[in-house]
């Protein structure tokens, strides 16, 4: 196979997974279980925003849309755990642990 055909195929796979905003399985798996902090409150069944550190590319802070797993409201600043990631948002619950990671927001 000519090198330019292979290059085009690789670029298509890359663009399909990244430009369209899809979450790769590797990112999805690495985000589950991370601690984060809400930077925008969640109103009931609505959406907010969570900020957390990405383990794969430290020390980068990542901001993603967030939704409460059980539909409860959560104020800005709430420490949460990421329990799932979809193509459009993260699902979070209030962090039940005592240990909290701190970083300036």
pLDDT in the model for residue 68: 93
Q: DSSP for the chain, please give it.
A: --HHHHHHHHHHHHHHHHTT-PPPHHHHHHHTT-EEEEEE-B-TTSEEEEEEE-SSSTT-EEEEEEEETT---B-TT-EEEEEEE-SS-EEEEE---S-------
The answer to whether the beta carbons of residues 33 and 81 sit under 8 Å apart is: yes
Whole-angstrom Cα distance, residue 39 to residue 48? Answer: 8
CATH 2.40.50.140, domain 23-105, yes or no: yes
pLDDT in the model for residue 75: 94
| Domain boundaries defined on the chain | 23-105
pLDDT in the model for residue 19: 41
Question: What are the mean pLDDT values of the chain's consecutive 10-residue runs (105 residues total)?
Answer: 52 48 60 92 92 77 91 92 92 78 56
């Amino acid at each position: 196979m000519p090198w330019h055909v292979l290059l085009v195929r690789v670029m298509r796979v890359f663009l399909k997974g990244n430009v369209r905003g899809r979450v790769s399985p590797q990112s999805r798996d690495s985000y589950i279980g991370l601690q984060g902090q809400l930077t925008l409150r969640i109103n009931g069944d609505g959406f907010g925003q969570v900020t957390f550190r990405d383990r794969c590319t430290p020390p980068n802070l990542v901001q993603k849309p967030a939704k409460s797993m059980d539909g409860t409201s959560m104020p800005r600043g709430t420490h949460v755990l990421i329990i799932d990631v979809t193509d459009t948002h993260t699902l979070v619950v209030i962090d039940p642990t005592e240990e909290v990671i701190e970083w300036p927001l």
